[in-house]
Amino acid sequence: MEVKLETYAQIRYRRWASRASVGGEVAPERRAATAPRETRESAERSLAALWRFKPKDAPSVFSRLAHWLRRGSQAVVTNNRTEWYMQNRIETDRLILRPFELRDADAAFGWFGNAVVMRFTPTGADKSIEQTSARLAGYQSHQNAHGFSKWLVMERHSGIAIGDAGLLVLPEYGWVDIGFRFAQPHWSKGLATEVASAWVRAAFDEFHVAKLGAFAHPENLASLRILEKLGFRIERRGIVMGMESIVFSLDASARRESH
């Protein structure tokens, strides 16, 4: 499965790149000069570096990109150029993920307020849209603090919101937690595995998380199967957020070895 990452910075990049184009191609000096202020400095560095290379130097280009990525920078290679960005969109074969906005509360209440969907969630179902709005505001605060959070999951072909998934820092337990949840009509279609796999990849490759944690109620067999399928290993049984749970973990190093 191919996971495509798209970002707000890339959208802005396309807008100013089209304004700075010359004869169908973008002149590097004009591209750097008209870039959005927050990306201009990195754009100047990366573009200046890449424009010095000829096609025969491609291995050198990708060697440098690999070096930058190992240092923790984020980049996308498109048409022989590097775009630096903060990730805020993930696409899989069937899904699109993006950070929550407060206007998503009405749609999200469809599953956050469903007692069946929230059966194995420590907090239980939301009692009102206002409670869901407060939940989404918390996700937004987490996004601002860490660059990731629980995100809205939409069907790729329709754009309809069908669930949420993502990463949350749980400082009281000492891990970055992965979670996923779908409205009932979208169960048993392999979507949870698809979205969880995308988040594992983003966690290790884009956000450079060293270790992921997860927990699930012992009776939540579907989630247990998905975590095991993705390579998570059982660490222990215990109480997490007041709920009896099986605790899992997945190390970045172990994932690299398995691949």
pLDDT tens digit sequence for 173-227: 999 999 999 999 999 999 999 999 999 999 999 999 999 999 999 999 999 999 9
Last residue of a domain, one of 63, 85, 107: 85
Asked if 119 and 81 sit in the same domain, the reply is no
Res. 43 pLDDT band, cuts 50 70 90 = very low
Last residue of a domain, one of 85, 108, 137: 85
**At how many degrees (to 10) do helices 221-229 and 191-205 cross?**
50
Asked if 31 and 155 sit in the same domain, the reply is no
229 Rama class: left (phi>0) / alpha (psi -120 to 50) / beta: alpha
In one letter, which amino acid is 228? E
Of 31-35, 38-42, 51-55, 107-111, highest mean pLDDT: 107-111
How far is the C-alpha of 201 from the C-alpha of 214, rounded, in Å?
Answer: 15
Asked if 160 and 242 sit in the same domain, the reply is yes
> Is pTM beyond 0.75 here?
no
**CA distance to 35, 84, 88, 134, 186, per residue, from 10 (Å):** 11, 8, 10, 30, 30
Residues 63-90 as b or e (16 or more Cβ within 10 Å = b): ebbeebeeeeebbbeeeebbbbbebbbb
Which residue in 13, 20, 2 sits closest to 90, CA to CA? 2
The residue segments making up the domain with residue 15 are: 4-85
